[in-house]
A = this chain, B = another copy of it.
Amino acid sequence: MAGIQKAKSEETQRRVLEAAVKAVERGGFEALQIRRIAADAGYSVGSVYKHYADQDALVTAVDTVTLARIKTAMAQAVEGVSDPLEQLKALARAYLAFAQEHRNLWQTLFALKMAEGAPTPDIHVQELVDLLGFIAEPLRQLEDGLDAEALAARTRTCFAALHGLVAISLEDRFVGLTTETLDSEMMFLVERLAGR
């Protein structure tokens, strides 16, 4: 008869997180309201706090889901692609596509975590390292003269540049480019970064 408590606890945590992800997907960062999520998940506000210390913890949990999804998308992007330059192009397109298709999740992931004094959870750091790993491998093949440290720095630079292009492309403030222009600019950036 034992095990009911554990199962209930896990289900509650899972359903709360599901409701939180859906809330962010629908309404962005601001839609992550405890009362709303508790109601959507079918619990009271108190139950949410039993599993997540505060709103930040819930955002962090949503971000963890987002990172996992990005990782999956990146892994699929390079699947079966052997040419390093083509790998980088595929990764760039996958990253842009994810941001466009999951705009609210992506924006929440990069919406100033910096303001908080809390350190980044280990799981996030690991996921980010994995993401950078996708870029590091083709880069290593293209720039064979780099030592490990330089490669790590170069990898981050390449990711950051692509990230910036994606971030700016999602902003309304900058006059929008056509989809074709954005893609060609992105490919230009990848080629220049790859030294081609």
Contact = CB atoms under 8 A, between A and B. Distances in A.
A8 interface: no
A153 interface: yes
Interface of A: 28-30, 103, 107, 110-115, 119-120, 124-125, 128, 153-154, 156-157, 159-165, 167-175, 177, 181, 185-186, 188-189, 192-193, 195
Given A112-B107, A115-B107, A181 B167 contact: no
A160 B166 CA distance: 8
B114 A174 contact: no
Q: Is the interface of A mostly helix, strand, loop or mixed?
A: helix
* Candidate in A30, A115, A193 with the most chain B CB atoms within 10 angstroms: A115
A113 B168 CA distance: 12
B157 A188 contact: yes
B128 A173 contact: yes
A163 B120 CA distance: 22
B171 A165 contact: no
Contact of A164 (B29, B114, B160): B160
Given A28-B115, A160-B161, A192-B192, 18 more contacts: A107-B112, A107-B114, A107-B115, A114-B170, A114-B171, A125-B173, A128-B174, A153-B177, A154-B188, A156-B168, A160-B164, A160-B167, A160-B169, A161-B164, A163-B164, A163-B167, A164-B167, A189-B193
